[in-house]
Structure 1
Amino acid sequence: MPELREEHQGVGTCVELFAGGGGLAMAVHAAGFHPLLVNEYAKRACETLRINLPNPADPTKPWPLIAGDVRDVDFTDAVSGEVDVLAGGPPCQPFSLGGAHKGMEDERNMFPQMFRAIREMKPKAVICENVRGLLRPSFKPYFKYILNEMRLPFVERDDEATWEDHNEILEKLLANESVDPSERYIVKEMEVNAADYGVPQIRNRVIIVAFRADLDVEWSEFMPKKTHSEESLIHSMREGGPYWTRHKDVPANVRERVIADLPALDYEDEKVKEKLKLEPWRTLRDAIAGIDENEGKPLPYVTEAAVKNKLLVGDVPDHIGWPGARMYTGHTPNLLDRPAKTVKAGVHGVPGGESVMRLDDASFSNFGGGDGYRYMTVRETARVMTFPDRWLLDGPRGEQMRQLGNAVPVKLGTAFSKAVAEALKSVGALEDPEKRK
């Protein structure tokens, strides 16, 4: 994407927890924040961060990685200097539909470590991303507690107290606004679909943004607005529409089938009119053809031989064919002319065909399943997550896909990171880290 090609001009500092394969770390850095510390536990993800640079033009500055359990990190000792932004996506499995649904009882619930990090570093802003499962009725009371803890992170929970007891204390303090603004945060949670921000993927998430109350930031003025819509995509796919101008090589029978399946649009509806002013949702075909920084750089065609023999196709990293894709009820492939399904990181694979794609060639053999579809390559999946092609992922295919499934799409993270930067600038709260030395 263009913002990743721009010269990185420092606007402040950041710390990133639960960095995974680097999606949110790249996004915050693209917004101009200089990383003071990056923490990750998984060994393969740590190696991914080691082999990639924040800025490829400056090989002298790797990610300041502290590998290991976040519970062992003393932030007061590990971080030198003022922290402008703390970012991270605590492990989502406790709250995910694909996880065990244990929520607050799950030992992988790392929200308490986010709150400890806030206490020890007192950042000006916090960006937190997690799954929409947090909004499920069974977790909603605890989610409200999470937001209250982020509002008052310095009011620590007693070891003997239940979260419900602690929440009562927090709500009383919030009601009378008796806590010093420098130890209180203004918190806003937002349910987002990454496709609405130019990511070629349906990915519904919750993003929490918090600002220290003493800064008096008006977040509503800077909150990212949706830039893309499904209605615009549908309109662009009508016969003779610009979508087909971009994809001239699509076989006529495929184009006709896609057009025949398009839903109707009520062009007189005011909501539809507003959404038609936005850019079209990006599709899987768009991602493979090349968008943003990969504009005009289509991924090489994956042949049957490449799938059968697990061959690297062209000179793009991790663009390797993979045999054995299957399709059955409840396990259906991605469609090229829609945003991809949510990229997932299942322990035992993914359940809904999220790593399989239907092809234009109905006779294509994938050697292990039926015809007309195949597994997506790691690089195709990385493009769906808006990772730059230069970004290498460590480990075998399964580990690479796990890192991508756990990541924040770079484009989505960048939209919110840049908005946070602008909000902090508006109150004079940011200064180039180089000038602080």
Structure 2
Amino acid sequence: MSASEREERLEVVEICAGAGGQSLGLHRAGFTHRLAVELDPQAALTLDNNLRRLLKEDGVEAPDRLVQVGDVADPEVWKPEDHPNVALLAGGVPCPPFSIAGKQLGTSDERDLFAWAIEACGRMKPKALLLENVRGLSANRFSGYRQAVLDKLHDLGYIATWKLLNASDFGVPQLRPRFVLVALLPEYAPYFHWPKGVSGPGPTVADVIADLMSEEGWGDAQVADWAKKANRIAPTIVGGSKKHGGADLGPTRAKRAWAELGVDAMGVEDHAPKKGWRPKEGAPGPKLTTAMVARIQGWHGEEFGGWEFEGRKTAVYRQIGNAFPPPVAKALGEAIRDALRRKGEPQPLVESSSTVHDPVYKVLRSSNRPLTAEQIIVKLAADGTSMDQPEVERHLNHLGHDFELETAERKSGQLAYSLGEFKAFVGQADHQRHDLFSQHRARIS
């Protein structure tokens, strides 16, 4: 890398960085890490070793404390205000609070750091913010949560937008939908355009791992037969958590999908099939190795290959499975980079504060008095939104999970509702997250 290219690189602080899927993608998009923070020591070691190698290749001197290990919300680990005006704050905050496969506890889950990350953004004032999470965050259950995030970012002076992206649209051979939030300061926001992905069909599972299937001697004919089944994209790779067992490719539905690809999803193997290998009775084909899983997650090719993972098989599998695919991160990084450089034609902006994810939230938030369900319906109708009482009650039920929903009984016997404080952890000293996190820390991933 030339001196001029080094000067043009933009700095990023990354939180909940994992083993570096997002880190690698952002690096390839032209960002240089000032700091990364990760809770899991093995993932942090993987990240530190690989990031230092990338920086060395670019002729950039790495900071002594490039990767900090610990709870991202612990001020002893790092302080957001120590990194003011960095180009980008990025992160893949924990998914279980919003995962459809979990209990969707939202603000009641000690792993929920999404709202805290928004507060950190306010303390740092980066030019741009990038946060990604599971598709579950886009569900109706979290419409009020998303509304609170947008409103907070608006108050902080950012233009924010959400979008659901599929990794398969960016050359990754699995669907892997991710719900992505991007926010930029107003002077850069008009230049941001969501990446469109690659043109034409992307690679299949067979395209990216067939050579690995044959590396231990499994015959060409057997690999070719297997590749015919694996000539499509995979179900979403799951990382699981320390609360559950070892390396496993997913629940029953996912295992059936893997079986159709000729893959035994009941675990991960140490080696590719050897010469003469045949599946056991009832098994649809060979198991994957962690190297194969990494390729399916996007660590593949000249740009993204060569990432070395630290730890034993199960730990490595979790690092890979919990990662953000590097090609998707690169595409997003390039879009943010171009916006920060004001590249291209600016586009008219839709005022973020007018985006309504939860109309009931908006009505209650703007009211200076408690409202009954009937009154909420009337106000919604005045704003052009039609909603019946059961729908309003469902919204109220969802809001009650993530906000202090206060009630008062009217003389008529009807309940009137007012929206209180957001329950999310944003750094409060007395928040329940502290005790829950201490109790479950060994099982959090």
TM over 0.5: yes
Match of 1:115 in 2: 118
SS at match of 1:108: coil
Where do residues 37-48 of structure 1 align in structure 2 (5 Å cutoff)?
Answer: 37-48=35-46
2:133 to 125, 130, 136: 130
2:109 pairs with one of 100, 106, 109: 106
1:191 shift after superposition:
0.9
**1:370 match:** 282
Q: Which residue is 1:392 aligned to?
A: 308
Show CA shifts across 1:343-400 (max 9, x none). Answer: 1012334212277651699x95345x63441221111111111123311112221111
CA separation of 1:335/1:375 partners in 2, compared to 1, >3 Å: closer, same or farther?
same
Q: Is the 8 A contact 1:21 1:407 kept in 2?
A: yes
- Which residue of the partner structure matches residue 204 of structure 1? 177
Correspondences of 1:200-349 after superposition (within 5 Å): 200-213=173-186, 215-219=187-191, 222-227=193-198, 278-289=199-210, 298-299=211-212, 301=214, 335-347=229-241, 348=244, 349=248
Cα displacement (A) at 1:219? 4.2
Correspondent of 2:69 among 67, 70, 75: 67
SS at match of 2:17: coil
Which of 313, 334, 342 is the aligned partner of 1:418?
334
Residue type of the partner of 1:75? K
Give the 3 Å change call, closer, same or farther, for CA 185–344 of structure 1 in structure 2.
same
| Structure 1: gaps of 5 or more residues | 1-6, 153-182, 228-277, 290-297, 307-332, 429-437
CA distance in 1, matches of 2:73, 2:109: 15
Which of 166, 172, 176 is the equivalent residue of 1:193? 166
TM-score (normalised: structure 2): 0.62
Give the unaligned 5+ runs of structure 2.
220-226, 265-272, 345-445
* Equivalent position amino acid for 1:375 in 2: K
Once residues 289 and 278 of structure 2 are traced to their aligned partners in structure 1, the CA distance between those partners, rounded to angstroms, is 15
1:379 is aligned to 291
Q: Which amino acid aligns with 1:25?
A: S
Check the 8 A contact 2:205/2:296 in 1, yes or no: yes
Q: What CA distance in whole angstroms lies between the structure 2 residues aligned with 1:147 and 1:416?
A: 19
Cα displacement string for residues 318-363 of structure 1 (whole angstroms, at most 9, x for unaligned residues): xxxxxxxxxxxxxxx99511111111012334212277651699x9
Separation in 1, partners of 2:314, 2:126: 35
CA distance in 2, matches of 1:334, 1:201: 17
Compute the displacement of 1:134 (Å): 0.8
In 1, the alpha carbon distance for the partners of 2:142 and 2:228 equals 30
Structure 1 counterpart of 2:152: 149
SS at 2:27's partner residue? helix
Is 1:18 the equivalent of 2:16?
Answer: yes
Could you tell me how far apart the structure 2 residues matched to 1:212 and 1:108 are? Answer: 28
Deviation at 1:300, TM superposition (A): 5.3
Partner of 2:373: none
Distance (Å, rounded) in 2 between the aligned partners of 1:121 and 1:359? 46
**Amino acid aligned to 1:109:** D
**Identity score, percent:** 33
Partners of 1:210 and 1:382 lie apart in 2 by 29
Matched residue of 1:373: which SS? coil
Q: Is the 8 A contact 2:81 2:123 kept in 1?
A: no
Q: Which residue in 1 is equivalent to 2:427?
A: none
Contact 1:201 1:340 in 2 (8 A): yes
Instruction: Give the letter for the 1:225 counterpart.
Output: K
Distance 1:427 1:136 in 2: 33
Q: How far does residue 301 in structure 1 lie from its aligned partner after superposition?
A: 1.1
* Contact in 2 for aligned 1:355/1:375 (Cα 8 Å): no
Q: 1:193-249 deviations in whole A, cap 9, x for unaligned?
A: 111121111111111110012x153145x321132xxxxxxxxxxxxxxxxxxxxxx
Q: Considering only aligned residues, what root-mean-square deviation do their CA atoms show, in Å?
A: 3.1
Secondary structure at 1:426's aligned position in 2? coil
Distance 1:225 1:69 in 2: 34
**Structure 2 equivalent of residue 330 of structure 1:** none
TM-score of the two chains, using structure 1 as the length reference: 0.63
| 1:207 to 1:77, Cα distance in 2 relative to 1, 3 A | closer
